[in-house]
Amino acid sequence: MNKPQHVPVLLDEALEYLNVRSGGVYVDATLGLAGHSAAIAKRLGGKGRLICFDRDPQAMEAARVRLEEVKAELGAEMPEVVYVAKAFSEAASELEPGSVDGLLADFGVSSLQLDEAHRGFSFRSEGPLDMRMDTRSGETAGQVVNQEDENELADLIYEFGEERRSRRIARAIVRARPISTTAELARIISAEAPSMKGEKIHPATRTFQALRIRVNNELGEIESLLKSAPSLLKPGGRLVLISFHSLEDRLVKDAFREAGRNKVFEVLTKKPVAAGRQEEMRNPRSRSAKLRAAQKV
């Protein structure tokens, strides 16, 4: 099996805004394949502490291997690493209030999840309709697709996928049931709602996004983190969040605006930070990334 390749998005920018200081306590709320965590560990030094959250057991195992490689490289200069196999929404129950110097979250789907067909995240390969980040529990995308009422299915595709043709797509899905694979679902969507003139994304992109958000309660997870983060950070602690679509970014922008108005945070990014042209060419997944950062007052 080939080793998963992962390029962390907006790495330099994230490290800059996180302001990693030797001996500090930092949280990677979305460990993934440890791209960001490896870089944080290298800056943190031997007296620091890195706390890593991920609800995906497969990603957690791959990240452990990566950080063991970093440990072998750094030796005594490696910070203490704590692994928490839970969703980042549970950070408030796992961390001491006022104990964190910096918290980073990258809300994107990891390369491991997208590139492995059996996880069911991608419409570009044949796989089961799963999409669960934590494969140990919860409903699958297949259950949603095959059991949801047509109107409710249309509503979630419209709301979470921002898909204007949601009614047509939902009707086609219900008509084609039962649907068992990602490729089958993608074909149904493409036949009913093909790409419009000038559109660069695959016709199934928005529907797959909507299903993934629903299955993993992604927006609810982000809302929980935004509520708990101020109490977890030390005064002067940094919160750095990377979003990949407008629904995520809107939640972050609104929460930062409110926290800034209430003098809880100083917002450090007046506009979201985007990837430069070189990074976009090197890593196409960075094109939709937006980074926002704030510092606790």
Residues 223, 227: Cα–Cα separation, whole Å: 6
Judge if 103 and 240 occupy the same domain: yes
Last residue of a domain, one of 190, 216, 242: 216
Which of 69, 64, 97, 96 minimizes the C-alpha distance to 81? 64
Judge if 94 and 142 occupy the same domain: no
Give domain status of residue 30, yes or no: yes
Judge if 126 and 103 occupy the same domain: no
Residues 141, 119: Cα–Cα separation, whole Å: 11
Domain count, the chain: 2
Structural domain for 292, as ranges: 11-112+218-296
Last residue of a domain, one of 197, 216, 235: 216
Residue 181, CB-side half-sphere exposure with 13 Å CA sphere? 9
pLDDT at 2 over 60: no
Q: Of residues 250 and 196, which shows the higher confidence score?
A: 250
Residue 45: pLDDT band with limits 50, 70, 90: confident
Question: What integer pLDDT is reported at residue 3 of this predicted model?
Answer: 46
Judge if 57 and 83 occupy the same domain: yes
Query: What is the number of other CB atoms lying within 10 angstroms of the CB of residue 237?
Result: 25
Judge if 70 and 146 occupy the same domain: no
Phi-psi region of 263 (alpha: psi -120 to 50; beta: other; left: phi over 0): left
Judge if 262 and 236 occupy the same domain: yes
Which of 2, 6, 1 minimizes the C-alpha distance to 33? 6
Give domain status of residue 142, yes or no: yes
Give domain status of residue 27, yes or no: yes
Interval 94-129: pLDDT, tens: 999 999 999 999 998 876 667 777 787 888 889 999
**pTM value?**
0.92
Give domain status of residue 6, yes or no: no
Give domain status of residue 58, yes or no: yes
**What tokens were used for 133?**
């980040």
Interval 137-158: pLDDT, tens: 899 999 999 999 999 999 999 9
Give domain status of residue 3, yes or no: no
Residues 141, 127: Cα–Cα separation, whole Å: 12
- CATH code for the domain in which residue 246 is found: 3.40.50.150
Last residue of a domain, one of 149, 181, 216: 216
